[in-house]
A and B are shown apart, each in its own frame.
Chain A
Amino acid sequence: MNAAYAPQATLNLHARHYRIIEDLLEADPRRIEAAHQEVSPVFEETFVAFGDPGRLVGQLAHNFAGRILAQIAVPAFDWGRRLHDQEALRRMIVLKREAKEHQIAPEGMDAFLSQQPEDLRNPFTGEPFGWSAETYEIHFVPSAANYWKRETLIVVY
C-alpha cells in the first residue's frame, strides 16, 4: 500500500465512475443532454477539487493518488455520441434508398421524411431529418461535431 493510495477505495471510485459511464452510453439519445446534466454533479463530487482548497485538503487526507488514478481513467470523450451520429448516417442512407425505390421526387422529400417512423428519424430529437431543396441533400447536425469536423452530415439524394 502506498502512503496516498488505498487500492479498494480506488476501485470503488472506478466502479462508481464506470457505472455512470455505462448509464450514459445506454441512455436514449433523445435525453442524452439531460443524462449528462444529471451525472455531472457526481463527477464534480469525486474529481480532485483543484479549484476548491477546502475540499482539496479533505481529498488529500485519504487516497489522493487513487482519486487521481480513478479520475484519469474516465474517458476523455463520449464516443457514444459518435456512434449515435453514425446511426443517424445509416438512417439517412436507408431513407435515400427508400425514396429512390419509391421514386420520390425531390419536391416530395420533405413530406416523405416527415412520414417516416421513429427509427428513421433524427435519433437525438425524434424529428424528421432535414432536407435541402436547393442541394438535394438529407442532412443532420451531428452531436460529436469535433470528431466529424463538420457542422452537418449529409447524404446527397
Chain B
Amino acid sequence: MHAQTRKQSRWSFWRFVRWGLFLMAMVFVLPVLVWFIANRFDESPTQEALDYAAESPRQVADADNAWLLLAGIGAAAGEDPLVFGRRRVDRVVARSHESPMPPPDAAEVALFVDPVPKVGPDIEIDGVGELCPSRDVDCIAWARENTGMLERLRAANSLRLTRWQTALTLPDWQALYPPLLDGPVQDPSVATLYLNLLALELSQTLPFMPPNGVVIESTEPTTLEKLAQTVVFWRRVQVSPQDLISTLVAGRQIEDAQRIADNWLSMRIESVGRVKKQRLIKFWRRPAGPPNGVKRCATNSVVFSQPCVIRHWGLGARCGNVLMEPRSKDV
C-alpha cells in the first residue's frame, strides 16, 4: 500500500513535470510558431503597388546622357568620356549584382582615378580655398578679385571644361550608378567652375561698357547666352524624372546662374532695355511644367525593385532617397 502510494506520487511528480514543461513550451514556443507561420503569409499587391511595379525605367541612350559624360569627364585625352563613364558604371553595376557584394577591388579603384584629374582652388596658391560662395557675395565682383585663380583653374581644367560644354549640349540626363553606400558619387564641381568662369567673363566686359550700354552687343551676349544655356540645361534635368541628388544639384546650379545674372543686372541695369530680350528670356522664363520640378521623382522602380530591398538589407533609405530610377510615364 505504502509502496503503491510512493509509486503514485512519483508518477504524479513526473506527470506534473511533463505538463509543466509542455505548458512552458507552449507559452514560449507557440507565439514564436504563430509569429513564424504568420510571416509565411504575404499580402496581395495593392493597386498602388501594381501601378508602380508596372512602370519601367526610361532608357536614355549613352550618347544622349550628360550624366554619363560627367561620370567620365576625367577620361584620358583622346578617350571618349562617354565610353570611360560607361566602363565605370558597368564595373559598379557588375559588383552590385554579386551576393554578398564585395568591396571595390584594385581594378575598380584604379578605374576611378581620373587620368585627367580635377584641379580645384588651393588656398596656399590662390589665397582662397573655394569657388564663389554665390549666396554670400556678388560672384561677378568676386571673380574679378580672383581672376588669377580662375584663370589658373581654367587652364588646368581646360579639357574637362571643354567636355562639360559638350555635356551641356546633350539632350538628357540619367544617373546610372546603383544605390550603394560605398558607391561612387557624381562630382558636379566642373559645372560650378564653368559658372564661375562665366562670371569672370562678365566681369571683364564691365569696365569697357560705355554709359549707353551699346557695348552689350559685342561680347556680353555670348557669355550671357552660355549662362542661359546652363539654366536651360539644368531646368531640363530638373523637370524630367531624376534621382534626388540630380534634382538638388540642378536646383543649385540654376540658382547660381540666376544669382550671377542678378549680379549682372545690378551692374548693367541701365542697359537692360537694350539687351536683346530673346537672348535673356531663358533666365526668367517660368520652368516648364509645375514649379516643383520634382513631380513624381520620389517614385521609381528601384524602390519597388525587390532585389534592391533584399540584397541591400537595411539600405531602404538609400534605395528610396538617393538613387531613384525615373518613371517612364513622365518621359
The residues of A with any CB-CB pair to B shorter than 8 Å are 1-12, 14-16, 18-19, 21-22, 25-26, 29, 60-63, 68-76, 79-80, 82-84, 86-87, 89-90, 93-94, 96-97, 100-101, 119, 123, 148, 150, 155-156
Q: Is the CB of A11 within 8 A of B45?
A: yes
Q: Within 8 Å of chain A (Cβ to Cβ): is B258?
A: yes
Residues from chain B with Cβ under 8 Å of A14 in the complex = 49, 52, 303-304, 320
Please name the residue on chain A nearest to B46 by beta carbon: A12
Residues from chain A with Cβ under 8 Å of B48 in the complex = 12, 15-16, 19
Q: Is the CB of A156 within 8 A of B298?
A: no
Q: Can you give 9 A-B contacts (C-beta < 8 A)?
A: A12-B49, A14-B49, A26-B290, A76-B317, A80-B294, A82-B248, A86-B251, A89-B258, A93-B261
Known: A25-B294, A100-B265. A74 touches B39 (CB 8 A): no
Residues from chain B with Cβ under 8 Å of A155 in the complex = 262
CB distance from A142 to the nearest CB of B (A): 11
Q: Is the CB of A73 within 8 A of B287?
A: no
Please name the residue on chain A nearest to B263 by beta carbon: A156
Residues from chain B with Cβ under 8 Å of A1 in the complex = 39-40, 42
Q: Is the CB of B306 within 8 A of A25?
A: no
Q: Which chain B residues in 212-267 approach chain A with CB under 8 Å?
A: 238, 244, 247-248, 251, 254-255, 258-259, 261-262, 265-266
Residues from chain A with Cβ under 8 Å of B290 in the complex = 26
CA distance A71 to B255 in the complex (A): 32
The residues of B with any CB-CB pair to A shorter than 8 Å are 35-36, 38-46, 48-49, 51-53, 135, 238, 244, 247-248, 251, 254-255, 258-259, 261-262, 265-266, 269, 272-273, 283-284, 286-287, 290-299, 303-304, 306, 309-310, 314, 316-317, 319-321
Known: A5-B39, A69-B316. A11 touches B53 (CB 8 A): yes
CA distance A156 to B137 in the complex (A): 12
Residues from chain A with Cβ under 8 Å of B135 in the complex = 148, 150
Q: Is the CB of A87 within 8 A of B53?
A: no
Q: Is the CB of B306 within 8 A of A96?
A: no
CB distance from B88 to the nearest CB of A (A): 26
Please name the residue on chain B nearest to A21 by beta carbon: B298
Residues from chain B with Cβ under 8 Å of A100 in the complex = 265, 269, 272
CA distance A8 to B303 in the complex (A): 12
Known: A25-B297, A63-B39, A84-B291. A7 touches B265 (CB 8 A): no
CB distance from B53 to the nearest CB of A (A): 7
Residues from chain A with Cβ under 8 Å of B306 in the complex = 7, 11
Q: Is the CB of A101 within 8 A of B258?
A: no
CA distance A140 to B43 in the complex (A): 48
Please name the residue on chain A nearest to B34 by beta carbon: A61
Q: Is the CB of B287 within 8 A of A87?
A: yes
Q: Is the CB of B297 within 8 A of A75?
A: no
Q: Select which of A26, A79, A96 is within 8 A of B265 by beta carbon.
A: A96
Residues from chain A with Cβ under 8 Å of B35 in the complex = 3, 60-61
